[in-house]
Amino acid sequence: MYTHNLDCIANLKTLCNLHGISGREYKIRSAIISMIDGFCEHKTDNIGNLICYKKGLNGERAQKLMVSAHMDEVGLIITEITDKGYLRFSSVGGIDPRVLVGINVLINDMDDNFIPGVIGIKPIHFLNAAEKDTAPKEENLLIDIGSKSKEQTEKYVKLGSSVNFFENYTELGNEYICSKALDNRFGCAAMVDIIKKDVQYDTYFAFTVQEEIGTRGVATAAYAIQPDISLVLEATTACDIEGVDTSKQVCKINGGAVVPFMDKSNIYDYELYKKVINFAKNNNIPAQTKNVIAGGNDSGTIAKTGSGVKTIAMAIPCRYIHTPSCMASILDIKNTTKLAALFVNDFKFS
């Protein structure tokens, strides 16, 4: 059996602490290139995907394999500067406005400088009864950068500037990681880990853009590569917290790699799904599936490329996804990376 020594955690910290909302992934792409340069052939396409080709020790496989993960994270984008110098914004990707109240943010201006700010709201002391019982709406939230006027703010921030959650990568005890952007810097770190080792057969890897706003980048990557089989590496929602019925928890942290059979974007190849579940079991790698049909990822777009692509996904369970403080298990991260590496090298595709 192929053996694989893991060092994905160090790369994960580096990538999580970088900023790259959808359409602004260039810092992530540059960091990944520095990690993989010399280990594979790579190029960047017109939309910003990083497409890599790794030659295998045993040459081509009968069916072309593409492994992919998206580089972008959820965030905000500036849409208005008020007369008093506050900033209005729209979300980039699916963000619950409740997680934005009172958080620190970094605004990336057009010159690549980061301006700190805070998302403010009316104090609780001044809320009426109806307001206290209502979740805040995005249009009622403002970013405060400590400016006195519109003119002063315009010296630092422009319309279209991206807004990022603060970098906050933290290891909780010896078992968990809490950070922004675990969705999907995990997948990127896992692919870097696989690329930097020998692989048995020629394999394509795609670090994609703009997944969070409609899986846009992977459409061009899959069109260029034209794979027969695709593995998507992701982070997926875990609702295994107090107050959520077990039938609605989707998946569980420390339950192993999540291998879905269906989500809101795709029905995965059933034969491939069954074989991967058995493959994990035979290699003593913990694996689970999703007990709720929810979410989606790049696989839904990949499956429809060309004459069709057989798709499968592997994901880490992630609590508090699409917030400044996503949480995942180090054990799940290592096991999912190991399963992906074995899939690339030992899985029988025929």
Indicate which residues carry an active-site annotation: 211
Q: How far apart are CA 346 and CA 182, in angstroms?
A: 27
Tokens 């917030």 locate to 323
Burial 11-37 (b: 16+ CB within 10 A, else e): bbbbbbbbbbbbbbbeebbebbeebbe
Q: 347-350 long-range CB contacts below 8 Å, 24 or more apart?
A: 347/275, 347/276, 347/279, 348/275, 349/61, 349/62, 349/63, 349/65, 349/229, 350/62, 350/63
Q: How far apart are CA 341 and CA 188, in angstroms?
A: 13
Q: How far apart are CA 20 and CA 36, in angstroms?
A: 19
Contacts of 116 (CB under 8 A, 6+ apart): 104, 105, 106, 107, 145
Q: Is the dihedral of CA 247, 248, 252, 255 positive or negative?
A: positive
CB 12 within 8 A of CB 333: yes
